[in-house]
Structure formats: structure tokens, C-alpha cells
Amino acid sequence: MRWRGARQSANVEDRRGRALPGGRVGGLGCAGLLVILGISFLTGADPRKLLPLLGLVEQVASPPAETGGTPPPDDPQARFIARVLGSTEDVWSGLLEGQYREPTLVLFDGRVSSACGFASAASGPFYCPGDQHVYLDLSFFRELDRRFGAPGDFAQAYVVAHEIGHHVQTLLGISDQVTAMQERARSQEAANDLSIRLELQADCFAGVWGSRAAAAGHYQLEPGDLEEGLRAASAIGDDKIQAQAQGYVVPESWTHGSSEMRVRWLRRGLESGDPSACDTFNAPRL
């Protein structure tokens, strides 16, 4: 993948190497634990019954998450991520003229605090609509290579573009609509189907970015680049992950879609370059 006209985004926040504030014990902050035990001592209440207070205690007792600085200039992978992010900003600002708000991409290692709660690197990259940040531990890309056999720059760019696709869904109100429909869903399987459609649309939006960025001259594909992205989409399909982890597949529990689905919708975005082609919610076949 040869980058040419893409600029580096200034919206990358580096929290790598920074310990989370407020030491935590078994997932409960130390200050929160003391408050729970104090209430129990004064009232005689079973401390286990006070755990629902945890959310309030954590908000009051824990200091705000520490913010980071900018990535060091000698970090080539961070520079690459900043360039992909800059390209997504330019593409979506043009497509959503007057509507697009640039998100922040947070680099972390190990664990991170967000408006959506605490997360570990094992969770993989994620987008939090609460603060409109994308969170990424760069070790995921090593895992994408070693565990899933999907190395390469375009595979990594696809991962970032997919999370930005979720940001676009938030700005357009799609995410809120899906959440409301899931709350009214009559079964977990129906709620999962909505989640799959949301994820596949983000895959398609990633493809739209790829198409538009190439047309704008942000990058030039080299032999094998496109296959890298498609391989990455295929590698993280629910069916392949389940088969690798447990030896069998349970379609009723899928939340992201099969490998074939993910590749198909990414390809649709790449071939069309049109967000309107990404209406997974009215598609007769996923």
C-alpha cells in the first residue's frame, strides 16, 4: 500500500505506557470498595447487596481517566494510523458535508478507560459512542497476523475504517435507532440480527472509504493489498472465530456476521463508493 496524498490526523491521542488512575481491586476501585464496606459496617447490610451502587461509586470516587499526548514522531505504525485517520476525515467530511465531526483515536496498551467503561486489549478495537472515540491497542494487528493470518497495511487500514464506520452510524442516528429496536426485540436472536446488520454496514462504510480514498489519490494499491483487506474481513467473521475457539459454529449467537457476509459487504462498499449502497437493514440477503 503506497501512501501519497493522505495527511496525518491531529486527532490521535497516545495513552500507551500510562497506568489507569485509581487502583482497582477485582474490577472495583479501591475507593469504591472502602465506601461499600463503610456503608455495610454502619447499616449492617450485606455488602454483596450494595454492589448495585458500584456504578455510582465509581463515577464519584474514581478520578477522571488520564489523557495522553501525541504519538512520538519516530513511531511508524502510529504515523500510519494517523494517516489512515486523516484520510477517513477527509473522505467522510466530503460525504457528510456539514454533519461530520472528527472523532479521536486513542492508542493504548493493556487496558483503557472510556465513556463506555473499562476495556482490555483482549476486547479488540472498539468505538465508544459516549465519547465518540475509537480505541485501539496496536498489539491487535500482531494478533491479526499471527492468529488470523491477515497481515498488511490494507488489513490494518480496514480495521480503522470499520470503527470510523461506527462513528458515521452514530452521527447519522443509525446506532441509536438500532439500540431502540434491540430493546423492543422479542428475542435475543432478533437483537443479534440487528447487531449483525450494524456491523456489516460498518464494513460497507469501510469499503466506501477505501474506494473514495483511492479515487482522491490518498493511496495507491499494490499487488495483494485488496486481498489483505478482504482476508482481514474474512478472518474476523463470527463463524471462523467460533470454529477456532470452540470447534463448532452457532449462527444464532452471531453478532458481527459470517466471514462471507463481511467480505461481501466490504466489497460492496469498495466497488460502489456509495454509502447508500450500504443499507444492510433493508437488504433481503445478508
Give the residue-averaged pLDDT of 53-59. Answer: 41
Same domain as 144, residue 57: no
- Write out the residue range of the structural domain in which residue 262 sits: 2-15+67-282
pLDDT digits (tens, 9 = 90+) for 130-183: 999 999 998 988 887 887 777 778 889 999 999 999 999 999 999 999 999 999
Same domain as 261, residue 224: yes
Same domain as 44, residue 156: no
Same domain as 49, residue 127: no
Same domain as 86, residue 195: yes
pLDDT digits (tens, 9 = 90+) for 229-266: 777 777 767 656 677 677 766 777 778 888 889 999 99
pLDDT digits (tens, 9 = 90+) for 199-239: 999 999 999 999 999 999 888 777 677 777 777 777 767 65
Same domain as 57, residue 163: no
Same domain as 132, residue 51: no
Same domain as 47, residue 183: no
pLDDT confidence of residue 233: 72
pLDDT confidence of residue 41: 41
Q: Is the pLDDT of residue 88 over 80?
A: yes
Same domain as 129, residue 49: no
| Mean pLDDT estimate for the chain | 80
Structural domain tally of the chain? Answer: 2
Residue 255 has phi, psi (to 5 degrees) of -130, -10
Closest CA to 165 of 126, 136, 130, 138: 126
Same domain as 112, residue 8: yes
Same domain as 82, residue 36: no
